Structure 1
Amino acid sequence: MSDALIVWGGWSGHEPEQCAAIVADMLKEEGFNVSVETSTRAFADPGLADLGLIVPIYTMSRIEKDEVANLSKAVREGVGLAGFHGGMGDAFREAVEYQFMCGGQWVAHPGNIIDYRVNVTRADDPIMKGIGDFDYHSEQYYMHVDPSNEVLATTTFSGEHAPWIEGVVMPVVWKRRHGEGRVFYSSLGHVAKEFDVPQMRTILRRGMVWAARKTP
């Protein structure tokens, strides 16, 4: 059985406490021992190195140098990192070391809450197994992304809300390596209600399990 740590906080609009409770239940169902913290000081704990998985749910805010250094070191040495939407992809905007690890950073969501389509690009990947293209109602994240990401799903911007990005194909779901650690990210999941969408929930659940360091 693997140990997982959820750290939630930051901007309340993403409902971090509610989302953390849902994610904790999902991980427990997968057999994880789950701990939950509400301060970035948890990232400075030397015990991070012994975990199987870390899930940040901490939009914006700040992370101290010793905290991000310890977090990055733990992942480089094999601890899994997984998250979703702004809780991972728009956390700690000034911490480039954190963004380097995650593989991307949110920069805009033109039109705010809109209808858009998610296109599965790697139907052969176990995380996306049985999931076809689907419609989604939320923020369509425009992100700066690392070209080394292994992209599993994308979305295409219509240009309706920002004409200069018409036709831009943007990653929605990806996985990557950071040293020895596995990193998973999905931009879906603005608020807790979105966990009711089967595709969103399934993709995140599988992604977290994939990212987790496997016990011998």
Structure 2
Amino acid sequence: MRALVVRGGWEGHRPVEATSLFLPFLKASGFEVRIEESTAVYADPSVMSATDLIVQCISMSTIERDEIAGLRAAVAAGTGFTGWHGGIADSFRASSDYLQLVGGQFATHPSVSPADRTGDETDNFLRYSVTMTSLGREHPITAGIDDFELTTEQYWVLHDDLIDVLATTTHPVQPWHPWHRPIVSPAIWTRQWGDGRIVVTTPGHSLDVLENPNVRTVVERGMLWAARTASAS
């Protein structure tokens, strides 16, 4: 099995350090791992057709037309695609083809009360719950994981109905926010695209979140579940 780790984009999400956390797991799980520092590899059909799993950690940034076309073709042909937080759910904002592939896009992360803001990234760190859905309680990625809490960025996600939601998070109504009812966002989801499987885990802003036992378990199980299946070979 071959895994392709593609990393880069906004340095605030520590793409090198974050992906390096999972390299030992991939190798121990039998993957031959190739690391690329840009999306140019997506345009190489010989590499993509031989790849069983793509782990992407590229926040924001841009992608060329031939690169997104290569990524979409590979996933449709059976290559798995996974990642966490902004590295997959806040990538290539200007590409509607990418957004359609992934099925959900980061919109914002609500802040703490104005009175509690200090002007750094912790202004967006909230204590929130990740709540398993009925599907999530049975799915191989999340089975046996109870609802859990995190203090980090809580992603508000715009999404479509083709995703299969394994866990959600709810944005409450607060006096300093303009919405007037609680908003439920997917926190962990899968998506079938052609013969390929996609897994998105929205927690993962920082290394300590990725090292949370629940988050790390979801990410690692997601890698194994997304990897090319025998029927897609």
TM-score, with normalisation over the residues of structure 1?
0.96
Query: What is the match of residue 158 of structure 1?
Result: 172
Take 2:141 and 2:19, find their aligned partners in 1: how far apart are those partners? 21
Query: What is the match of residue 115 of structure 1?
Result: 127
Take 2:24 and 2:87, find their aligned partners in 1: how far apart are those partners? 17
Letter in 2 for 1:133: D
Question: Which protein has the larger Cα radius of gyration, Structure 1 or Structure 2?
Answer: 2
Contact 1:157 / 1:165 at 8 angstroms: preserved in 2? no
Query: What is the match of residue 143 of structure 2?
Result: 129
1:23, distance to aligned residue in structure 2 (A): 2.1
**Unaligned stretches of 5+ in structure 2?**
112-123
Identity of aligned residues (%): 41
Take 1:33 and 1:165, find their aligned partners in 2: how far apart are those partners? 49
Query: What is the match of residue 187 of structure 2?
Result: 172
Report matched runs for 1:180-199 at 5 Å. 180-199=195-214
Take 1:201 and 1:91, find their aligned partners in 2: how far apart are those partners? 21
**Unaligned stretches of 5+ in structure 1?**
none
Contact 2:83 / 2:199 at 8 angstroms: preserved in 1? yes
Query: What is the match of residue 26 of structure 1?
Result: 25
1:139 and 2:138 equivalent? Answer: no
Take 1:27 and 1:103, find their aligned partners in 2: how far apart are those partners? 25
Letter in 1 for 2:217: T
Query: What is the match of residue 222 of structure 2?
Result: 207
1:165, distance to aligned residue in structure 2 (A): 5.5
Report matched runs for 1:4-19 at 5 Å. 4-19=3-18
Deviations 1:15-39 (A, max 9, x none): 1010111122221122111111101
1:6, distance to aligned residue in structure 2 (A): 0.5
Take 1:165 and 1:57, find their aligned partners in 2: how far apart are those partners? 34
Deviations 1:157-177 (A, max 9, x none): 112352406411111001111
Contact 1:86 / 1:190 at 8 angstroms: preserved in 2? yes
Deviations 1:25-72 (A, max 9, x none): 221122111111101111111121111001110001110000000111
Contact 2:78 / 2:229 at 8 angstroms: preserved in 1? no
Paired residue secondary structure (1:174): strand
Paired residue secondary structure (1:26): helix
Letter in 2 for 1:20: T
TM-score, with normalisation over the residues of structure 2?
0.89
Between the two proteins, the alignment pairs up a number of residues equal to 215
- Computed over aligned residues only, the root mean square deviation of the Cα atoms, in angstroms, reads 1.2
Take 1:164 and 1:29, find their aligned partners in 2: how far apart are those partners? 46
Paired residue secondary structure (1:87): helix
